[in-house]
Structure 1
């Protein structure tokens, strides 16, 4: 029995890739996916602190409010002369001193209007004795409130209202063993940032009675030197 054998078919050679040649990925694989580069919907941008924004914009608000009051006073004649202004304040009765002290105390806690301007305005509006007394009551009340707020909240609120660099600068005072003495001297001087220092004092171990004694005993000298002194110069040299 014979078998017939045909030609054996040839198989195509298998291509061999050299091992020393790197395989280049395709362009589609090399290009990053747009969805991968895009942040996921769960990621949110950091929110801006509304209190910090309000603290930064408060000087502009106070300036705008001051300009509006000056324009109104000139238009109505209240600011045409010192006599007209004092007559207007007297017509308000008890509301005049109450509103002034409330605004002055509020400006110590949150500086919408610089407290120094109101300290100068006190003797001009109410006379040297009553104006200085109203300044003393209002500023002391605001300073005590600053201490109480800082004692319960801490540095987190202070750094949101004031610039962090400024806060860190005056925090160095608290690391000294003579902080209480330095704080008392700063309260006496009319050029020290009293509002910030009162907040910072609330974050220390200073006792309430020590703080109250410093404010009540040292604050009048700064008010007399700054408020009464500058207001006297203004009334003397300002042709009003």
Structure 2
């Protein structure tokens, strides 16, 4: 039986938080080139294939926050669920110095096949969860590599990514994290926090849902012990953020934000 392209954890949990993990897995489904993109295993274990450690952090946070979580079940190299359907990086053929052999000759028909099999069902599952829980605050969990090929090291331990359109969760989260003396916190670092058509734009901004995306440096969350430790550290900070944002009451998270920086 074909595996679902997503996993939902704790669908009926009561927390206002709903967690998402767009790049949870490096799995290549068997119907894609026999389950092999033609890359060495060392590349499939890198950030180019998935967000290293993000799924473990997401699972622990979901338990600690008593929250629902939705995780992808396919590699971002199969098709990237955190990209809009018209994004040129939706189906990558070259990523951080590695050519992806099984994607080199992927045409429009193959792109459409992968959209129908993986990308669209994942987003349909997200929308179903959000629609059923109108009063929710979205936390998207990602990780980033400490160094891209040929680039300097990235110093941030955690980045908080956001758009100017809705800072209800991002701004108080940044302020709260800045109180931690041992953390190097990135405000829209290591890259800009908003890409039109990405998952947070699609499910957060376009619907007026409170949302925030965090990026953890992946060398800090490689082991199960590190993933649990970061989740245990972040859970009370996230609860503080929900309170500071005035979103701890479920109905507050559903209100459309005032435009920030408009």
Does TM-score exceed 0.5, indicating one fold? Answer: no
The structure carrying a bigger strand percent of its residues is 2
TM class by smaller structure: under 0.3
So what's the TM-score if we normalise by structure 2?
A: 0.24
Asked which structure has the greater CA Rg, the reply is 1
So what's the TM-score if we normalise by structure 1?
A: 0.26
The structure carrying a bigger helix percent of its residues is 1
Higher relative contact order at CA 8 Å, sep ≥6: structure 1 or structure 2? Answer: 2
